Chains A and B, each alone.
Chain A
Amino acid sequence: MVTAIKLPLYMPAWTLKNSINNFGKPIVFFLALTPFLRLIWFGFHDGLTVNPIEFITRFTGTWAIVMLCITLAITPVRMTFGWNQLLKYRRMLGLFCFFYTLLHFLTWSIIDQQLDLQAIYQDFFKRTFITLGLVAFIGLIPLAITSTKGMQKRLGRNWSKLHELIYPIAIFVVLHYYLHKAGKNNFGEVRIYIAILGALLTWRLTRWLLKKYKLQT
């Protein structure tokens, strides 16, 4: 017996470009999820070090800031190289930034602080790096909620305005990381993120200033 295989009437030629167009999103999704899968794997294979909570907190924090860098890099890279198709990954990457930030926050609040609201409250007011981190996390929430296409339409021009919140958030995030590492005078890794985020924000600031200057003349 022969099983009929249904073929689509139109098959696009296999080219790298077409593949990226068709499979780009799942690939990017999988890549961005890999750190999380790795964390789960570590959990089942005794890979979370002797101090698992510290490890998970730092791991999720690091990936949150990496995702933030990648998300903020989309626009400059797209405009510089004319790779407009990059835009379709921005929402997903931004949501991954929120996802790792949420894990980071939950690890700290539930596992580390045992939901001790008094301790959390005290830390928030007493320790600047906690204040900055929490404010950055809270700032990301409306951005995640309004990331859908529907919300984008509903908010219209205000949507872009709202999402410019990511710039102060990025500064808070870097300060949060910097002040944490200052406790051990250890700025090696922080410098990398300061450089990357600094460059990405400077690019935007320069464009904004140029635009403003041109409009006035």
Chain B
Amino acid sequence: MKFKLPLISSSEITPQRVFEKRRELIKLAAGGALGLEMSSWFSRDALAQTKLNAPLNPAYNLMERKTSFNDVTSYNNFYEFGTDKSDPAAYASNLITSPWKVSVEGLVGKPRVFDIDDLMKLAPLEERVYRMRCVEGWSMVIPWVGYSLSHLLKLVNPLGSAKFVEFVSLADKKQMRGLGSDIIQWPYVEGLRLDEANHPLTLLTLGLYGQTLPKQSGAPVRMVIPWKYGFKSGKSIVKIKLVEKQPATSWNIAIPDEYGFYSNVNPEVDHPRWSQASERRLSDDKSIFSPKIKTLKFNGYGDQVASLYAGMDLKKFY
């Protein structure tokens, strides 16, 4: 008996390289089909953002793994849209970010209303990679785009009597479904001492990951103060007011013994309900079993900002 070798033309043989990748190819095909179906959904927010020309400022870079764009924009607190950390991404799409004006007023020689386009051109935009430490005990590493707030403050000539800066966020019930709750006082107000506001690290922020801010991240303009807990950095800002007395800030009014005016990141001062000694770094290379990391005093920016608080008891001024 003789076996007849089946004749297969070489064109019918799957190349080994393709054969070895067959699973990936199937996934890719499935993903491709899904991607096509979903592309309009994925891009509904993405389309709202435009690319920014903002070179990285090497003085503010970090050798730490960045938190992905998707994680930064799908998990954050922005109570104007709801208390759940998925609410901002789910409900911020109603926010109208253009036209947008920011009124800079109070104890200034030259009060001025800035249009968002003015702000974009007020100083050269730069990218800075900052740590973001939430008072709840988690942290991210985020590449923001903006410039030092001091550039803006210089333009309005703060008067000698100005000691503090108040940041007021938009509060519009029509656009923000979370404003119905009575958890904190609206509009959201945050504040800094004038010297803190003038510190080069204090970033007037217009972008994230090289693009204009997504709505859920505080579009079109927000503050980022990297050595303080995240809630100190107001989002979707409409007013910056220079004042003489320490401003009453939203979280401080709500629960004064848990959220101080200063709220510098400090592992030595516990939140009454949890320890601030460590934090959970949220980045996609971590498994759920990876340990927390130690929280750094002033979130690791002590060499730049500790002098602002020389002689102050940080346990008292938490």
Q: Select the stretch in A13-21, A156-164, A182-190 that faces chain B.
A: A182-190
Question: A42–B291 Cα gap in the complex (Å)?
Answer: 21
Task: Pick the residue among B184, B271, B292 that contacts A183 (CB under 8 A).
Answer: B271
Bin chain A's interface residue count: 20 to 34
Q: In the complex, what's the smallest C-beta–C-beta distance from A195 to chain B, in angstroms? A: 18
A68-87 contact mask (Cβ, 8 Å, vs B): 1 or 0: 00000000000000000000
Residues of A close to B288: CB separation below 8 A: 48, 52-53, 56, 111
Q: B183 within 8 Å of A by Cβ?
A: yes
The minimal Cβ–Cβ distance linking A157 to chain B, given in whole angstroms, is 41
Find out whether the CB atom of A127 lies under 8 angstroms from the CB atom of B280. Answer: no
Q: How distant is A125 from chain B, measured CB to nearest CB, in Å?
A: 12
- In the complex, how many angstroms separate the beta carbon of B238 from the nearest chain A beta carbon? 24
**Number of A-B residue pairs having CB atoms within 8 Å of each other in the complex:** 55
Q: Give the residue of A49, A50, A119, A129 whose beta carbon is less than 8 angstroms from that of B275.
A: A119
A129 and B289 within 8 A (CB): no
Complex: how many Å from CA A52 to CA B275? 19
Which of B138, B184, B274 has the most A CB atoms < 10 Å from its CB? B274
| Number of chain B interface residues as a range | 20 to 34
Complex contact A54–B138 (CB within 8 A): yes
A48 to B255 Cα, complex, angstroms: 30
Does the CB pair B273–A188 fall under 8 Å? no
Contacts of B274 in A (CB 8 A): 123, 127, 183
- Residues from chain A with Cβ under 8 Å of B258 in the complex: 183
* A52 contact set on B, CB distance < 8 A: 288
Contacts of B53 in A (CB 8 A): none
Q: Hey, which chain B residues are within 8 Å of A216, CB to CB? A: none
Does A217 make an interface contact (CB < 8 A)? no
- Which of chain A's residues have a CB closer than 8 A to the CB of B282? 50-51
Residues of the B chain whose Cβ atoms lie less than 8 Å from the Cβ of A119: 275
Chain A residues within CB distance 8 Å of chain B: 48-54, 56, 111, 114, 119, 122-123, 126-127, 129, 179-180, 182-186, 188
13 more CB-based (< 8 A) A-B contacts, given A111-B289, A183-B255, A183-B273: A49-B74, A52-B288, A53-B280, A114-B291, A122-B275, A123-B274, A126-B270, A129-B273, A179-B273, A182-B255, A183-B258, A185-B254, A186-B183
